[in-house]
Amino acid sequence: MLKELSKSNKYYKTIVIILLILVLGVLPNFTGSAVIRLLILTYTTLIMTISWNIVSGYTRFLSLGHSMFLGIGAYTSAILYTKYNISPWIGMIISLIPSALLAFVIGVLTFRLHGAFFALTTIAILQILMLIALHFKDITGGALGIIYLPKNDPMNFFFLDIAYYYYIIYIMLLISLYISYKIDQGFFGKSLKAIGDDEIAASTIGINTMKIKILAFIISSLIATPVGTFYAQYIGYIIPQSVFDLNLSIRIAVIGMIGGAGTFLGPILGAIIFVPADQLLTTYLSSYYGLNLVIYGLLLMISAIFLPTGVVGFIGGFTKWLKKY
Using CA atoms, how far apart are residues 111 and 210, in angstroms rounded to an integer? 7
Does 315 participate in binding other proteins (rule CB under 8 A)? no
- Name the residue among 173, 144, 237 with its Cα closest to residue 41: 173
Pairing mode of beta strands 146-147, 237-238? antiparallel
Q: Of the two residues 119 and 271, which places its CB atom closer to other proteins in the complex? A: 119
Does 113 participate in binding other proteins (rule CB under 8 A)? yes
Residue 40 host element (H or E):
helix 33-52
Does 7 participate in binding other proteins (rule CB under 8 A)? no
Q: Of the two residues 37 and 190, which places its CB atom closer to other proteins in the complex? A: 190
Does 295 participate in binding other proteins (rule CB under 8 A)? yes
- Name the residue among 220, 222, 296, 215 with its Cα closest to residue 259: 296
Of positions 9, 294, 317, 318, contacts other proteins by CB under 8 A: 294
Binding mask 138-157 for other proteins (x = CB under 8 A): --------------------
Of positions 290, 322, 323, 324, contacts other proteins by CB under 8 A: 290
Using CA atoms, how far apart are residues 277 and 321, in angstroms rounded to an integer? 28
What residues from 221 to 250 belong to the interface with other proteins (CB under 8 A)? 250
**Does residue 218 contact residue 104 with C-beta atoms inside 8 Å?**
yes
Sheet strands (E) in 153-295: 237-238
Does 254 participate in binding other proteins (rule CB under 8 A)? yes
Angle of helix 33-52 relative to helix 162-185, nearest 10 degrees?
A: 30
- Name the residue among 227, 197, 231, 211 with its Cα closest to residue 58: 197
Of positions 4, 206, 324, 325, contacts other proteins by CB under 8 A: 206
Does 278 participate in binding other proteins (rule CB under 8 A)? no
Does 132 participate in binding other proteins (rule CB under 8 A)? yes
Binding mask 48-87 for other proteins (x = CB under 8 A): ------------xxx-x-----------------------
CA distances from 76 to 52, 81, 282 (A): 21, 9, 31
Q: What are phi and psi of 153, to 5 degrees?
A: -155, 75
- Name the residue among 309, 37, 43 with its Cα closest to residue 170: 43
Q: Of the two residues 162 and 280, which places its CB atom closer to other proteins in the complex? A: 280
Binding mask 207-226 for other proteins (x = CB under 8 A): xxx-----------------
Q: Of the two residues 164 and 188, which places its CB atom closer to other proteins in the complex? A: 188
Size of the residue set binding other proteins (CB under 8 A): 68
CA distances from 175 to 11, 46, 181 (A): 22, 12, 10
Does 273 participate in binding other proteins (rule CB under 8 A)? no
Contact region with other proteins (CB under 8 A), list: 39-47, 73-81, 267-275, 282-290: 282-290
- Contact residues toward other proteins (CB under 8 A) are 60-62, 64, 109-110, 112-117, 119-121, 123-125, 127-128, 131-132, 134-135, 187, 190-191, 193-194, 196-209, 250, 253-254, 257, 261-262, 288-305, 308
